Amino acid sequence: MKRSPPKPKGRRRTGAVRSARSAMENKTRRTIRYFGYGANASPKMLGALIGRKPSGFAARLEGYELWIQSWREIPFLIRKIIKIHWTPDFRTYCISPKRREVVNGRVWLLTPKEHKLVREWEFWYRPIQVRVKTRDGRMVIAEAEMVRKPASKTNRLNGGHYKFFLNNEKRMLEIAKKVRGLPLSKGS
């Protein structure tokens, strides 16, 4: 009589554990996959944040919805910090889990230093690991961000078709460069 091999002790690896492991392997290769949505899906914006023309590809985040957080919905302590650069007409895109919804964006290939710059720009969001679909149908693990405490989400959008910049594009690019310590163009 043949004996079957012993069952492994402990918990089985779940998709979340595999995802976290893949994400860590991704970081050890010195390239971090970052899923940018909203302004962070724009090559101009990521270029302003990291200081070079970014490399990346179009992707779609499935199972998430896109919505707009208004100034009054941003936590008070965060508003105190960002009012240095922004006025009460500032709005920001946010995502949250929602079945059968999608958010289009781009996966950017960043160095750890560049990733840190993006994280500092998005300081009030919490990083999350997501699976995004490429144009050719492959699933890729990347990092994205969500607000820590979702607001009312009354301003839901079609995440498959939206404009990247909610705020003045030129102003956003200038502020991103300024925050990174680069000289501003004339007229700023």
CB 33 within 8 A of CB 140: yes
In a domain, 114, yes or no: yes
pTM, two decimals, is 0.79
CATH code, 98: 3.10.490.10
Those residues of the chain that have pLDDT short of 50 are: 5, 7-28, 182-188
In a domain, 58, yes or no: yes
Residue 181, pLDDT score: 63
Q: Residue 154 belongs to what domain range?
A: 15-175
Burial of 72 (0-12, 13-18, 19+ CB in 10 A): exposed
In a domain, 188, yes or no: no
CB 25 within 8 A of CB 18: no
In a domain, 5, yes or no: no
In a domain, 7, yes or no: no
Residue 22, pLDDT score: 47
Residue 106, pLDDT score: 98
Residue 183, pLDDT score: 45
DSSP letter at 148 equals: S
Indicate the number of domains in the chain.
1
In a domain, 57, yes or no: yes
CB 61 within 8 A of CB 105: yes
In a domain, 1, yes or no: no
Q: Up-side HSE of residue 158: CA atoms within 13 Å toward CB? A: 4
Residue 29, pLDDT score: 56
